Structure 1
Amino acid sequence: MAPLACCNLCRKFKPHLLMALAQIGYTFLYFITEASFNHGMNPHVYITYRHIVAGLVMLPFAYFLERKIRPQLTLYLFVEIFILSLLGVGLTLNMYFASLRYTSPTFLASMVNTIASLTFVIAIVLRLEVLDLRNPRGMAKALGTLVSLAGVMMMTLYKGPIVRNLGHPLIHIGGNTSVREDWLKGSILTVGSCITWSIWYIMQAYTLKRYPAQLSLTTWMSFVGGAQSAVFTVIVEHKRAAWTIGLNIDFWSTIYGGVVCSGLIIFIQLWCTQEKGPVFVTMFNPLSTILVAVLAYFVLGEKLYMGSIIGGVIVIIGLYLLLWGKDEDQIARVESEEQSYSTSKGRDAEKLQVITPSLRELSKAEH
């Protein structure tokens, strides 16, 4: 009986466990890429190689699993995928990982939590989202967005005093850290990447309606985004040595980013979105923020600023206010649809009751 109960419990919380593992995977991504960049790898070369690896890994799964549902690729659709790849890979990730050279993994992990709020603001502007301030749900979404953006402003403009380390770091990531002096430049790059990331989420919803093959779309974005990043890298990086990587941290960070993060974790997120919805998936983002902050401070001895701590807490509070409002919206929408269905069913029953006696009376009249 105990093994059966354990299996049922695991089945019930399977999405929760998978999303927790996904956030742990993203946590290690921050540090392995930071170690690679400190080792000397160019961030733009990393983005290019990572998405080529991701495309090669996902290609067989997309080809065999979506043969029957994959629509024909037209020129218009390819242009749409090209723009989608630019927003999701070519432009966004190049800005995002370039900012890691000027800020810190803790700052980047905290800023990711603002994507939900930024997406909500853009959706309101495009009239994809309705904001009703007359009910608690609408007020929570508006307040959560404002609080989250206030936290972003604090993290960007206010560093504050350094939190003193409690001891020596357990692990030291070598490299020249003097490039991190330009915190404002890194903050601008991070905020810009979060904005384009938010636009990418909205555009992705439109594209999936015309191209409802998620694995194939992800494969296309990986290859096209990798090609875009390669062109950009050739323009900004003229040294051939930058494209050469050995069997070291550069190689393993590329394999990890391509296979685990752009392959396995994306698949997990798609499955959890289908099972529980996008709100459920987004709610786990703060977990990686907490894990990154703990590892960076206690294990790696990273400098932790009071402004980042306060701003990160404010961002998470705002995020959960927004998500609560969105979750209540979904519940209200489902209840409204069920009530509408019940009302419609009741009207059909009344019509049937009205029609049936009249037929019987007609039959009696004929006899």
Structure 2
Amino acid sequence: MSVVEGETAVVEKWSPVVSIVVANVAVGSVNALVKKALDGGTNHMVIGAYRMTISAFILAPLAYFLERKVRPKITFRLMIDHFISGLLGASLLQFFFMLGLYYTSATVSCALLSMLPAITFTLSLILRVESISDIKSKAGMLKVMGTLICISGALLLTFYKGPQISKFHDSPEALHHHNNNGQDKTKNWVFGCICATIGAVFLSIWMLFQGTLNIKYPCKYSSTCLMSVFAAFQCALLSLYKRRDVNDWVIHDRFVIFVIVYIGIVGQAMTTVATTWSIKKVGAVFASTFSPIILISATLFDFLILHSPVYLGSIIGAVVAVVGLYVFLLGKNKQTEAAAKLCPRNQNEDKNNNSSINNDGSRLSV
């Protein structure tokens, strides 16, 4: 193998990993900024609609110029698929996840999002994307154990808030919780955790669905653009659930305008393209295993830059969820190693069979 071929192989191997890592860092920063905007009272689905509209405008010229020669013909079936993609991966995801973000914090919401590999694994078993027969193996047991630990971390995040351990007390979120009584605070916290978990389930379903859609329609810019167009209308309709006021769509706050533009370009257009491409290269389950990076990124933005309060239950629950994730990853790694050992063995058996056939004239006549 030449040096150029070696470098090309390294780039092909690590490009999806780098892509999904950068995308997850961006998502973490987006969630922290959106939390700040939501604390100001902005309708969360208005933010979602503007986000998807900006994403569509950014991606439309890229899709036209970069993919016009290779883009498959759009059929009615593909339009339906992209409508479903927008519903799962944008509209319903944002509806529930941003509600969870409003009632909890960026750290808690992203910690619940860290359950994504466990959720994706569970759904892939239900949908027979992953083999159920492998559960009884050592690798399978580790994956199941990791999934259960992740769920335990999520339950801890939901039902145990604990004392505030940060020194910042002047954030909108802190004032919001301070002004409510203890019962309302607990109800809002549990409700927020449930909504964020539902959002993570929709994201997981979208990742599995996207794996199939990538085969039918492999053009990442065009696919994300179509998804964004459908999702923009879906988000606009979902915004009516809270309040039917035209003034909700008029944004005066410069910070909120910056957040909407940032999440439209970085948090939607760029990250969705990167995630879609990574899923195509390495699969939905593997791509989902990098979700704890979202938690780390969101926590750093949330605490160091936005000065949001951090609670003991959030830290403990997040640590438990991440430990569960890496137990899951250990099982996944053992499964991959076992498959790699099995593959050469099968290849050797094929070679031996071919040799025996070539040395036996009667078998050559078959």
Q: Percent identity?
A: 26
For 2:40, the equivalent position in structure 1 comes to 39
Q: Does 1:233 align with 2:230?
A: no
CA distance in 1, matches of 2:19, 2:218: 23
CA distance in 1, matches of 2:195, 2:243: 18
CA distance in 2, matches of 1:129, 1:21: 27
Q: Does 1:138 align with 2:140?
A: yes
Distance 1:123 1:225, change over 3 A: same
Structure 1 residue 337: deviation in Å?
3.2
For 1:304, the equivalent position in structure 2 comes to 310
Paired residues of 1:173 and 1:300 also in contact (CA < 8 A):
no
1:328 is aligned with what amino acid?
Answer: K
- Indicate which of 253, 268, 279 corresponds to 1:262: 268
For 1:186, the equivalent position in structure 2 comes to 192
Give the gaps of 5 or more residues in structure 1. 1-6, 360-367
For 1:3, the equivalent position in structure 2 comes to none
Give the gaps of 5 or more residues in structure 2. 1-6
Structure 1 residue 44: deviation in Å?
0.4
Structure 1 residue 271: deviation in Å?
4.7
For 1:152, the equivalent position in structure 2 comes to 154
Distance 1:350 1:200, change over 3 A: same
- Indicate which of 326, 333, 345 corresponds to 1:327: 333
Distance 1:14 1:118, change over 3 A: closer
CA displacement, residues 226-249 of structure 1 (integer Å, 9 cap, x when unaligned): 111112223543111111124711
Distance 1:334 1:252, change over 3 A: same
Q: Does 1:195 align with 2:210?
A: no
Paired residues of 2:173 and 2:309 also in contact (CA < 8 A):
no
For 1:205, the equivalent position in structure 2 comes to 211
Paired residues of 1:279 and 1:326 also in contact (CA < 8 A):
no
CA distance in 2, matches of 1:74, 1:51: 22
CA distance in 1, matches of 2:231, 2:303: 33
| Greater Cα offset, 189-198 or 75-84 | 75-84
What is the total number of aligned residue pairs between the two structures? 350
CA displacement, residues 284-316 of structure 1 (integer Å, 9 cap, x when unaligned): 322331233344334443222221111111110
TM-score (norm: length of structure 2)? 0.84
Structure 1 residue 327: deviation in Å?
2.9
1:177 is aligned with what amino acid?
Answer: H
CA distance in 1, matches of 2:278, 2:78: 26
Q: Does 1:243 align with 2:249?
A: yes
CA distance in 2, matches of 1:13, 1:209: 21
| Greater Cα offset, 108-117 or 290-299 | 290-299
TM-score (norm: length of structure 1)? 0.84
* Correspondences of 1:346-361 after superposition (within 5 Å): 346-355=352-361
CA distance in 1, matches of 2:18, 2:89: 26
Instruction: Point out the structure with max Rg over C-alpha.
Output: 1
Moved over 4 A (4+): 10-20, 171-176, 270-280
Paired residues of 2:63 and 2:222 also in contact (CA < 8 A):
yes
CA distance in 1, matches of 2:174, 2:244: 22
CA displacement, residues 17-56 of structure 1 (integer Å, 9 cap, x when unaligned): 5544433322321222122223332110010010111111
Paired residues of 2:39 and 2:173 also in contact (CA < 8 A):
yes
Q: Does 1:289 align with 2:295?
A: yes
Distance 1:289 1:140, change over 3 A: same
Structure 1 residue 173: deviation in Å?
6.1
For 1:177, the equivalent position in structure 2 comes to 176
Paired residues of 1:118 and 1:195 also in contact (CA < 8 A):
yes
Structure 1 residue 115: deviation in Å?
1.3
Structure 1 residue 104: deviation in Å?
0.6
For 1:252, the equivalent position in structure 2 comes to 258
